[in-house]
Amino acid sequence: MKFFIDTANLQEIKEANDLGVLDGVTTNPSLMAKEGITGQQNILNHYVAICEIVDGDVSAEVIATDLEGMIREGEILAALHKNIVVKIPMIPEGIKAIKYFSNKGIRTNCTLIFSAGQALLAAKAGATYISPFIGRLDDISVNGLDLVAQIRQIYDNYVFDTEILAASVRHPMHIINCAEIGADVMTGPLSAILALAKHPLTDSGLKQFLADHAKGNN
Ligand code: G3P
């Protein structure tokens, strides 16, 4: 299972990368705006800065919603760095753009996936990744993990190469459940990744080991 971090914050990306378990980064226009990154050149520079930190796939999202615009922006993004994956929204023009980039060997991440039908279409168009937003489904009382399981079954039935990138992950149980289902990738905040390491018995056990060692060495 690949671990991506879902942020445009360079400090958090460095911290996750230093753990040695980071396989990539996902961003979106909201995450870029949250870091105060505005203006086309600053945005492009920021993607390059992320690619220089992490040796893994970095999703960079197009803003255009028409085919021509998505192709123009996607080609600029893909040319920035070999690790860039062009993130395209799940809309009819987006499906065409994914097909276009797939034919050109440019990797894509189809974002804003909320149904199995959308995931099937994106895979048929040749998306490298699809991003079902599980947290946002949970927010409206629909089980996001059920969608991941449904997509897993469909992709396995037909041996689609498209990777399921569980997105909008909010907490460590999302990550564990995605691993049980067989999501290829999860993208989440640093807090959810770090929370996987925490256990009170680990903390108390370590405290005891160190105290016993200190007693024996006095
Ligand atoms: O990867 C998608 C993600 O950025 C959306 O997360 O927490 O805004 O639903 P969230």
- pLDDT tens digits, residue range 138-181? 999 999 999 999 999 999 999 999 999 999 999 999 999 999 99
* pLDDT value for 9: 98
Is 175 within 8 Å of 188 (Cβ atoms)?
Answer: yes
- The closest residue, in CA terms, to atom 10 on ligand 1 is 168
* pLDDT value for 93: 98
Evaluate: CB of 133 within 6 angstroms of ligand 1: yes
* pLDDT value for 169: 98
Q: Which alpha helices (H) appear in the chain, and where do they start and end?
A: 10-18, 29-34, 40-53, 67-80, 92-103, 116-125, 134-139, 144-158, 172-181, 190-195, 200-216
Rounded to an integer, what distance in angstroms lies between the CA atom of residue 98 and that of residue 71? 9
pLDDT per residue as tens digits for the range 53-95: 999 999 999 999 999 999 999 999 999 999 999 999 999 999 9
The yes-or-no verdict on residue 200 having pLDDT over 90 is: yes
Structure tokens at 99: 């097909």
Across 11-29, average pLDDT: 98
pLDDT per residue as tens digits for the range 117-139: 999 999 999 999 999 999 999 99
Distance 212 CA to ligand 1 centre (A): 45
Beta-carbon-side half-sphere exposure of residue 169 (alpha carbons within 13 Å): 33
Is 87 within 8 Å of 28 (Cβ atoms)?
Answer: yes
pLDDT over 90, % of the chain: 99
The mean pLDDT value of the chain amounts to: 98
pLDDT over 70, % of the chain: 100
Distance 87 CA to ligand 1 centre (A): 13
Maximum Cα interatomic distance, the chain, rounded to a whole number of Å = 73
Look at the block and give the residue holding tokens 């990539």.
24
The yes-or-no verdict on residue 186 having pLDDT over 90 is: yes
Burial class (CB in 10 A: 0-12, 13-18, 19+), 125: buried
Is 87 an annotated catalytic residue?
yes
Rounded to an integer, what distance in angstroms lies between the CA atom of residue 87 and that of residue 77? 10
Residue 2 backbone dihedrals phi, psi, to 5 degrees: -85, 145
Across 16-45, average pLDDT: 97
* pLDDT value for 217: 87
Q: Which residues contact 109 (CB under 8 A, 6 or more apart)?
A: 26, 59, 85, 86, 87, 88, 127, 128, 129, 130, 131, 165
Of residues 87, 96, 124, 198, which has the active-site annotation?
A: 87
pLDDT tier, 218 (very low <50, low <70, confident <90, very high otherwise): confident
